Amino acid sequence: MSAIILDGSMVHYEALGRGRPIIFLHGWVGSWRYWINAMQVASTSFRAYAIDLFGFGDSTRDPLRYSLDQQAELINRFLEEMGIGKVAIVGHDLGALVGFAFLKKWHGSVDRMMAINCPVEYDALSPRMKTATMNELIDWLSSKTPEATSALADASKVDPKAVTASIDSLQADNLFPNVRNLGVPCLFVYGSNTPALTVPSQEKADALPQHMHQINLDGLGHFPMLDNPPQFNRLLTDFLALDSGLSPRELQLKEEWKRRVR
């Protein structure tokens, strides 16, 4: 296990590979652990980091650091302490929101971002996400395969206050309008069967600025990286292979990426 002390608090992380840096940010259910497969794939060309946010996994529990802005500050301090320059961010639900909060203040430090099953509006999030226990969320959101169960094993470590505080931050801060026009290439990826949020409509997808693009993965749920690792990893690899600054609309789309948003 690797850890770093940031302003008196322990932050757990894992790292693989060499090359340009990429940061994987987990969501409300689980920890860095469900990124292992994607990290292994990315590490052939990148230095891949996965971080446990405050209140998750083996990082410090501190209710004063659970807001989206405070979690974004964690990422900023981590990059500073580790001497990491411009990064790619891959974030899943909460992790994507933290990525956008980071983008809002330090967009010059982000080369590109993949946002997976990200509720860009508070009302898009299912009410059950705001009230269910962690065990209920695991039962509701995961595929319950042995692989998924193992990957989400750290969910029992989640401080429920970290979930509540971050969702409250989303409600208080209309985050997406502050970052949509910053020019950082961003690919939105949604599992078409996720019950956790309402997938943005085709009309909303078409209204994204040129440097942003939305792809829905048919038949996948809230954890596409666990539901179909080969498909998710192909998309991740293609996105990371784009030249810096190129819009994800420039992806040479495979047949499974060509289907329109429903």
171-193 b/e with 16+ CB inside 10 Å = b?
eebebbeebbeeebbbbbbbbee
Contacts of 153 (CB under 8 A, 6+ apart): 33
DSSP assignment of 49-97 equals: EEEPPTTSTTSPP-GGG-SHHHHHHHHHHHHHHHT--SEEEEEETHHHH
Residue 15 has a pLDDT of: 97
pLDDT along the chain (262 residues), means of 10: 91 96 97 96 96 98 96 97 96 97 96 96 93 93 90 94 95 85 95 96 93 95 96 95 91 58 41
Q: Is residue 18 included in any domain, yes or no?
A: yes
Provide the CATH number for the domain around residue 208. 3.40.50.1820
Q: Is residue 29 included in any domain, yes or no?
A: yes
Residue 260 has a pLDDT of: 43
Q: How far apart are the first and last CA of the chain?
A: 42
- Number of DSSP helices (H) and strands (E) in the chain, helices first: 10, 8
- Rg (C-alpha) for the chain, rounded Å, is 17
Hey, what are 126's tokens?
Answer: 């299912």
Instruction: State how far the Cα of 39 lies from the Cα of 45, in Å rounded to an integer.
Output: 10
Residue 176 has a pLDDT of: 86
119, with CB counted inside 10 A (0-12, 13-18, 19+), is buried
Look up the domain containing 58 and give its range: 2-257
Three-class secondary structure of residue 105 per DSSP: helix
95, with CB counted inside 10 A (0-12, 13-18, 19+), is buried
Instruction: State how far the Cα of 103 lies from the Cα of 118, in Å rounded to an integer.
Output: 14
Residue 261 has a pLDDT of: 42
Number of domains in the chain: 1
Residue 262 has a pLDDT of: 40
Hey, what are 38's tokens?
Answer: 């994607």
Q: Is residue 21 included in any domain, yes or no?
A: yes
Residue 256 has a pLDDT of: 58
Q: Is residue 127 included in any domain, yes or no?
A: yes
Q: Is residue 262 included in any domain, yes or no?
A: no
Contacts of 233 (CB under 8 A, 6+ apart): 37, 38, 41, 225
Hey, what are 73's tokens?
Answer: 């500050």
